[in-house]
Amino acid sequence: MPRHAGDFFDAMAADYDVLEPWYEHLYAQLHAVLRVALRPPLHVASPRALDAGCGTGFQAAVLQELGYTVHGLDLAPRLLRAARDRLPHAPLVQGDVEALPFRDGCFAAATCCGSTLSYVGDAPRALAELARVLAPGGRLLLECEGRWSADLAWAWLCGLLGDRWGYELTPADVWRAVSTPRDRECRLPYPGYGSLRLFGVGELAKLLAAAGLETLRVWGIHWITNLLPSTVLHRPRLGVATAAVYRALCRVDAALSTRWPAARLANSLVVLAAKTG
């Protein structure tokens, strides 16, 4: 992962756990999926799990609640300090998801969320590393940025209107992303960081297969909620009318998260995969 990614997240450390409405919905749905998809096998006592890109320990805490012996890894030292406050007994290390400091096949489950895969420089290498440290049959829950969403249309329109909603993208930025051929990496500028890699469902399934991981199920989070510009939801509070509309959209978003077009047109793709060998 690029070193400046760690600096970017370290700069956010003080407010990282203060969730805006957008992230409240994202993590509520993600953790509901995690609790079902990575439920540990009953016949194994304290199986080991890895939270790769653990941040302040959101997913690691859920894994620990489920009964896993949790290990965490992140590039940003200030986020790791916060994670250690949340999980004082968990082994948490500073490191790169593209070069995991763990032996082969040592984890029964792993999470890689917080759009970590969208920030890495070499996604195939990161997925190969995650597959390497999973035991045969081990499961990976992955959350990353989706390639197709209505929010790109909002960003394009925002650029035309002089950045009225604060996307900080030009129409040309958006066009370059949406017109990228399907067989090439799709990246979108991310102000203050560099760029984010956006993934399509089919592309992600191919990358997982190349790493020795079989896609089992796909969810989409934040698809119908894109009827509102995402930047409107990246604020501490919403107005009364906006909040009421958003709550209704969140209920629909959650209810239809596994159906088309949710899994293809969401901002956040969530994929459950298993190691095949």
Enclosing H/E stretch for 187: strand 186-190
Q: Is 170 inside any structural domain? A: no
**Mean predicted confidence (pLDDT) in 36-43:** 88
C-alpha closest to that of 100 among 129, 141, 135: 129
pLDDT value at residue 62: 96
What is the extent of the structural domain holding 65? 3-148+181-275
pLDDT digits (tens, 9 = 90+) for 70-108: 999 999 999 999 999 999 999 999 999 999 999 999 999
Q: Is 176 inside any structural domain? A: no
Type of residue found at 21 = P
- Residue 132 φ/ψ region, left for φ over 0, alpha for ψ in the -120 to 50 degree band, beta for the rest: alpha
pLDDT value at residue 15: 64
Q: Is 101 inside any structural domain? A: yes
Can you tell me the distance from the alpha carbon of 170 to that of 177, in angstroms, rounded to the nearest whole number? Answer: 11
- The C-alpha angle 83, 88, 94, rounded to 5 degrees, equals 45
Type of residue found at 211 = A
- The C-alpha angle 137, 138, 140, rounded to 5 degrees, equals 130
Can you tell me the distance from the alpha carbon of 248 to that of 60, in angstroms, rounded to the nearest whole number? Answer: 29
Q: Give the count of domains, the chain.
A: 1
Q: Is 157 inside any structural domain? A: no
Bridge partners of 142?
112, 271
Considering the entire predicted model, what is its pTM?
Answer: 0.93
Q: Is 175 inside any structural domain? A: no
pLDDT digits (tens, 9 = 90+) for 139-194: 999 999 999 999 999 999 999 999 989 999 999 999 999 999 988 999 999 876 67
- Which of the pair, 4 or 152, is modelled with greater confidence? 152
Q: Is 129 inside any structural domain? A: yes
Residue 22 near residue 234, CB atoms below 8 Å: yes
pLDDT value at residue 3: 54
Report DSSP state, residue 167.
Answer: -
**Mean predicted confidence (pLDDT) in 220-226:** 96
CATH number, domain with residue 104: 3.40.50.150
